[in-house]
Amino acid sequence: MSLKALLRAGKELLKAKKPSATPTTGQQQRQITYEPKPSQAQAKELVTQELKNPPVVLKKTKPLQMGDDMAPAFGSSTYDWAMRMGRSKYTADEWLDHLTSTRKVNFKIFGKPAQKTVREQKRFKYDSGPFAGKEVSVSKEELFDSNLAVFNEMGDLTGGLLYAAKKFGLKLDANEVGAMIKLNPINRLKPIELGVNKGAQEAFDVANKNAKTYVQALQVKHRGTDSLKRNLDELQYQLHMMAYQVKHNLIHE
């Protein structure tokens, strides 16, 4: 057999052993793909990040109570709005966008184009609770009084907690912003109940009762003496009026 015939026979033999792309059963072969699963190292890294930066537990109670269980004398809707920011930490610019309605205004100074930032009060509505549907606002004055943000005439941030956070690249959560709002002098006012101390009131009641009993005894003893009886009647009346005034905080200096 010639060399050429041997090569031809070898090619025919190889063709006979090569599998067909389409099986003779009529069923197409299914391609098997492999999707890698997250490695243990990746899962561990995610858990570590969650532990380092856990979601913030917001100090959020009823409206206008600023995180306290008891309602204060003066509440703050700004505190309630800050709690709606979320459970993460945010930049100063993100807080400014949340606490103010900000827009840019173009104008001209001596014919040259200029731009300033106009920061107006943020308005929102309560969606639940006793004030549901009521619209309230976050004023720049409260942001200033709380030392959260101070703006110049051009609307630039020039002072306050948010200014310091922006300067040093810090992020703040809602609890930290809310703590500054609670330090507002208006929000720290507490009502004072004026009147007689409870212990002094009780001691006075006992003394007044004893005095009236003694006067009544003198009235019986000196019943026949008109002038003395009139004086005792007047004293009895004065004791009664004094007790009434002390009880209702009507005594004035």
Q: Give residue-wise pLDDT tens across range 224-253.
A: 677 666 766 777 777 766 676 666 654 444
Out of 15-24, 88-97, 163-172, least confident range: 15-24
Residue 167 has pLDDT above 90, yes or no: yes
Do residue 184 and residue 88 come from a single domain?
yes
Q: Cβ of 131: how many Cβ atoms within 10 Å?
A: 16
Residue 21 has pLDDT above 70, yes or no: no
Contact 102, 162 (CB under 8 A): no
Q: What average pLDDT does range 164-177 have in this prediction?
A: 96
Residue 2 has pLDDT above 80, yes or no: no
Helix spans in 53-173 (H): 77-83, 92-99, 140-145, 161-167
Q: What average pLDDT does range 81-109 have in this prediction?
A: 94
Do residue 218 and residue 133 come from a single domain?
no
Q: What average pLDDT does range 205-227 have in this prediction?
A: 72
User: Does residue 173 form part of some domain?
Assistant: yes
Instruction: Report pLDDT for 253.
Output: 43
25-31 contact pairs (CB < 8 A, 24+): none
Q: What average pLDDT does range 177-196 have in this prediction?
A: 81
Distance CA 185, CA 181 (A): 9
Do residue 85 and residue 122 come from a single domain?
yes
Domains in the chain: how many in total? 2
User: Does residue 4 form part of some domain?
Assistant: no
Do residue 110 and residue 180 come from a single domain?
yes
Do residue 162 and residue 128 come from a single domain?
yes
Do residue 109 and residue 157 come from a single domain?
yes
Instruction: Report pLDDT for 207.
Output: 72
Instruction: Report pLDDT for 160.
Output: 95
Do residue 140 and residue 223 come from a single domain?
no
Is 168 or 245 the better-scoring residue by pLDDT?
Answer: 168
Last residue of a domain, one of 188, 207, 225: 188
Do residue 88 and residue 145 come from a single domain?
yes
Residues 6 or more apart whose CB falls under 8 angstroms from that of 120 comprise 100, 101, 102, 103
pLDDT digits 0-9 by tens, 96-129: 999 999 999 998 889 899 888 999 999 999 998 8
User: Does residue 106 form part of some domain?
Assistant: yes
Do residue 87 and residue 139 come from a single domain?
yes
Do residue 118 and residue 170 come from a single domain?
yes
Q: In which domain, by residue range, is 233 found?
A: 198-247
Out of 39-43, 98-102, 121-125, 160-164, least confident range: 39-43
Do residue 90 and residue 160 come from a single domain?
yes
Token pair 């004023």 in the structure block, residue: 139
Amino acid at 192: I
Is 51 or 153 the better-scoring residue by pLDDT?
Answer: 153
User: Does residue 111 form part of some domain?
Assistant: yes
